[in-house]
Amino acid sequence: MKIMLGALDLLKSPATLSSLEIKRCRTIVSLSRAYMNTLEVYDKYTSLEQRIVDMEARLLEIYRHNLQFEKDPAEKARLEQEINQLEESLRQSSKYYKPFRKKPSLVTPF
């Protein structure tokens, strides 16, 4: 962002710029805009992924609770299988996401 602001300042300055310098500055500004749009989309995706991890963790708690009171062996086996799948999913996502922890936003509101 600092580079983009520097390029904008250079374009606004009264100094005479060569056509190559103008092209470079315009390229920097347009690439920075595209990067910011991509960053906003990425930030939304990470928020969605965090919500999924939170929901899986809540579901895991519910399944574990239900398993304690379940009498039917077939239903117990199904719950145990679901619990194993959810634990594996949370284990894989734990590198990037922790249940019930909000990730800081990558895009600061203006």
Residue with the larger pLDDT of the pair 105 and 85: 85
Q: What is the pLDDT of residue 54?
A: 93
Q: Which CA distances in Å does 105 have to 53, 74, 95, 101?
A: 17, 44, 18, 12
Contact 98, 51 (CB under 8 A): no
Cα 33 from Cα 26, distance rounded (Å): 11
Mean pLDDT, to the nearest integer, of 63-87?
A: 95
Q: What pLDDT does 88 receive? A: 94
Segments making up each domain of the chain, as ranges: 2-93
Which pLDDT score, from 0 to 100, does residue 17 have? 84
Measured distance CA(90)–CA(93) in Å, rounded: 5
pTM (whole model) above 0.85: no
pLDDT > 90 fraction of the chain, expressed in percent and rounded: 38
Give pLDDT tens digits for 19-61.
898 888 889 888 888 888 888 888 888 888 989 999 999 999 9
Predicted local distance difference test score (pLDDT) of residue 69? 93
In whole angstroms, what is the distance from residue 13 CA to residue 37 CA?
27
Question: CA-CA distance, 12 to 103, in Å (whole number)?
Answer: 37
Report pLDDT for 89: 93
